[in-house]
Structure 1
């Protein structure tokens, strides 16, 4: 009898899948990606920065109200602002206020509209209006302070 031994091929009979190089590469790339993502998520600490204007905003160093005339709800004034002289007219509203204590009533003013009529430099030459929003806020505060300091609202 002539019997040949039959060899057993494990890939055909057992269906064993080998862990090859490509599978190893896929698992290692995925684990590296996952490790990097977790490290970045734990280490990421955003620092919020404050928005800064490119043009510096400054408050005027010297300011004063040189003259003021009031009518019913309007007024005119001459304002000195950093060496410049401004002729302004404004509309205001009077408001009764108190400090919360009986007998502390006083009249306060609220500037409703401000217009710069003319601006002059140190020599008295006319120049164009250079004021911005911050200058108008400063002028409004100066006008109200001048009215309160000189008690100009009591007679109006």
Structure 2
């Protein structure tokens, strides 16, 4: 069996390798040039997708009735929708760490959302989420504490 050396192999020539490398390099450079000069355009399906309006919701207490020592009902305005709520609360004495700043603090312990209606009285499915519930609780708590509707017994 005879052994052939690499330099006598007729299928591998340095000039052929350089020619193939030059051709691939030229193709890549032309592709990069075309990609860099063309404007980026999006299809019509991407133009129709818009970023939603994500302004924060507004919450306001419209009505509030204290029905017993630790229960109440109310009506909340949530972005123009009327949200009836029934809730339970706990009261305890608190202060700001300074003399004569004592007040009755309120914690909402149980919140129940009723049938939501729009401004015209049409019923709407419940669209509230966890953040809405937290902010409704905070609005009720602040309303009760600000108007001093309850006292610790």
TM-score (norm 1): 0.59
- RMSD value over aligned CA atoms? 2.1
Q: Which residue of 1 aligns with 2:124?
A: 127
Q: Which residue of 2 aligns with 1:105?
A: 102
Find the partner of 2:63 among 56, 61, 67: 67
Alignment of 1:37-52 (within 5 A): none
Displacement after TM superposition at 1:98 (Å): 0.8
Give distance in 2, aligned partners of 1:75 and 1:106.
Answer: 19
Which structure has the bigger radius of gyration? 1
Alignment of 1:1-156 (within 5 A): 59-61=56-58, 63-70=59-66, 71-154=68-151
| 3-state SS in 2 of match to 1:95 | strand
Question: Would the aligned equivalents of 1:59 and 1:135 in 2 still touch at CA under 8 Å?
Answer: no
Question: Would the aligned equivalents of 1:84 and 1:122 in 2 still touch at CA under 8 Å?
Answer: yes
Displacement after TM superposition at 1:123 (Å): 1.4
Displacement after TM superposition at 1:78 (Å): 0.5
Displacement after TM superposition at 1:154 (Å): 2.8
Displacement after TM superposition at 1:103 (Å): 2.0
The count of corresponding residues between Structure 1 and Structure 2 is 102
Question: Would the aligned equivalents of 1:88 and 1:116 in 2 still touch at CA under 8 Å?
Answer: yes
Query: After superposition, what is the alpha-carbon deviation per residue over 1:85-141, rounded to whole angstroms, capped at 9, x for unaligned?
Result: 011000100021011122221101000010101100121111121111000011001
TM-score (norm 2): 0.61
Runs of 4+ aligned structure 1 residues displaced above 2 Å come to 55-59
Give distance in 2, aligned partners of 1:134 and 1:152.
Answer: 25
Which structure 1 residue ranges, 5 or more long, are not aligned?
1-54
